[in-house]
Amino acid sequence: MTDEYFDLPKPRANYGFSPFRIQRHFNWIIVIFILAYGIVAGKLVLYGSGFFKSKEKTKVQLLKPTKARPLITDRNGEVLATDIKKYSVYVETDKLIEKDRAARLLAQALPQYTNQMKLLVEFESGRNFFWVARNISEEERERVFRLGLPGVVLEKENRRFYPNGTLAAHVLGSTDVDNRGISGFEKYIDQTGISDLEKIGLPVTQDELKPFELSIDIRIQHALRDELVKGINKYKALAGSGIVYDVTTGEIIALASYPDFDANLSTDAQKPENINRAMVGVYEMGSTFKALNTALALESGKMNINTAFDTKEGEMTIGKHTIHEYHGTGKRLTIPEIFLHSSNLGSAKMALTVGSKAQQDFLRKMGILDRVQTELPETQAPLYPKYWSDISTVTISYGHGISVSALACVKAVGALVNGGRLIEPTFLKRTPDEANKNAPVVIKPETSEALRYVMRLNAEQGTAKAALVPGYFIGGKTGTAEKAIRGFYQKDKMLTTFMAITPADRPRYLYFVILDEPKGIPETHNLATSSWNAGAVTGKLIERTAPMLMPPIFAQPEDPFPTMIKWNAWGIKKS
């Protein structure tokens, strides 16, 4: 019998191991994975480009609740900024029943946000979701709610609220419609990690976030703004700004700039006339710069407190330029007398004795030639000559030819009077120990005492008398600078500045006020120099706020300037 009568299976060629077969299977697996990942990646690209419209994804993105923000308080715990709940309106187009009717009724309910034609265009655009209005009032929410329109939804969101309106608006800044910081301290908050929580989808409430405690004292802030506005109105100035500064900690106790804005109206913060003049504006500070020039002279080692310069001629010529005294004395003046009489010639000769390079180095060491860094992003770099000639050295000695911000000047003068430490200003509450950790010593203690001495002398016998307040042993310096317009100084347009320290023997607080183009009035004998306006404003501010900061001491301090020779305006005499 042969095999052809039986239907037996043919034996396979090879039942054993085949590396070639396994390799072919592995190659197919790789191809399948590549195709799968390619499809997924392709869809992601198409979704991202909008090729596919995903209503659910769009709603998730646009309806993600506006993030919570931490509470902001002043140094005493008073609330400066907080979150409140507001309603916004959006439309799910595919759920609308009568589009024409919905557009008409919604436009009537929210006339300041939209109109019927605009809504109809949105309804027919193919989009399944869009915002109609954000952060509406309670009355507007009630009107929309009563419509009862399918597809029209009210969404509760976080909204920033500033209970004090204009107070400290330049410090606090503002937020946008999605509750993100766009200026001031609010913008700083978003750089501290709050935004990272939102990015990873971690839900937080305001109660879960640590409050920010500012250095601002809302009582002092209110008084500063109030006196500044009164002064601007009284002396018919264009604008003004002011700072109250703790020279021992670098804390900004109050900062105001006027015109200002209501922090609840973020659009007003962007108007050019509402800039922060204390930090963004840079100005020629006039004779207040003579405090820096005096410190430069004494620190150089080439002069001491008794060094004198001849100012009898009343003018001096540098190249093609002639320098004049504002009120010449016609005599030889010591360094304290130069400060007291605000002598331009004396200041110029002091600076020339030291030299241009030493002047530049000193101003750089004092932070004058750099942008001031604080928590607030709004700041401006100084303007000064690229080529520092002798005439630059002369004019800068009395505050012309260089423009700096008020805060830069405050920072530098703070170091001149606090014993010599250059402390970085801050809007956050901190202690003297924290402030001194990274505060270099920039002048000798003896130089600092000399500055306190001449500032006190100027308040007793010179142009700073307007700021004297019983019980507070004040020192001060005036500054009046003609404004440069299109390269020419205008004698009838002045910027007046005034700075005061208290108590002068051991300063704690520095007051700084600037008025832009104040006018002379009958009460000032039609004079518009600093002592008549910025000085008067500062005096009223100190009188009003100093009792909130420290108790008065009516007894004169014993030997307040121990290393200084007893001196008066008419000559030098030893004790």
Of the candidate CATH numbers 3.30.70.600, 3.40.50.300, 3.40.190.10, 3.90.1310.10, the domain formed by 72-213 belongs to: 3.90.1310.10
Rounded to whole angstroms, the maximal C-alpha distance in the chain is 150
Active site residue 195: no
Please write the tens of the pLDDT for every residue from 269-307: 778 888 999 999 999 999 999 999 999 999 999 999 999
Dihedrals phi, psi of 273, to nearest 5 degrees: -70, -10
User: Phi and psi at residue 174, in whole multiples of 5°?
Assistant: -155, 170
Q: pLDDT tens for residues 546-561? A: 999 999 998 888 888 8
- Angle of the 290-299 helix axis to the 344-354 helix axis, nearest 10: 40
Residue numbers in the chain where pLDDT is lower than 70 = 1-33, 35-66, 194-204, 565-575
Same fold, 72-213 and 219-554: no
What pLDDT, on a 0 to 100 scale, did the predictor assign at position 54? 42
Is omega for the bond preceding 259 within 30 degrees of 0, making it cis?
yes
- CATH architecture of the domain covering 219-554: 3-Layer(aba) Sandwich (3.40)
Q: What is the pLDDT of residue 129?
A: 85
Note the pLDDT of residue 5. Answer: 36
* pLDDT given at position 28: 63
In the numeric block, the tokens 């589009």 are attached to 99
Q: Where are the alpha helices (DSSP H) in 254-371?
A: 266-269, 290-299, 335-340, 344-354, 356-365
Q: What is the β-pairing status of strands 129-136 and 79-92?
A: antiparallel
Q: What is the DSSP secondary structure assignment for residue 531, as one 8-state letter?
A: G
* DSSP symbols for 135-171: EE-HHHHHHHHHH--TTEEEEEEEEEE-TTTTTTHHH
How big is the chain by its Cα radius of gyration, in Å?
Answer: 35
State how far the Cα of 311 lies from the Cα of 295, in Å rounded to an integer: 20
**pLDDT for the residue 61:** 42
Delimit the domains of the chain by residue range.
72-213, 219-554
The catalytic position among 257, 266, 287, 405 is 287
Whose CA is closest to 533, among 504, 495, 491?
A: 495
Tokens found for residue 248: 């021992």
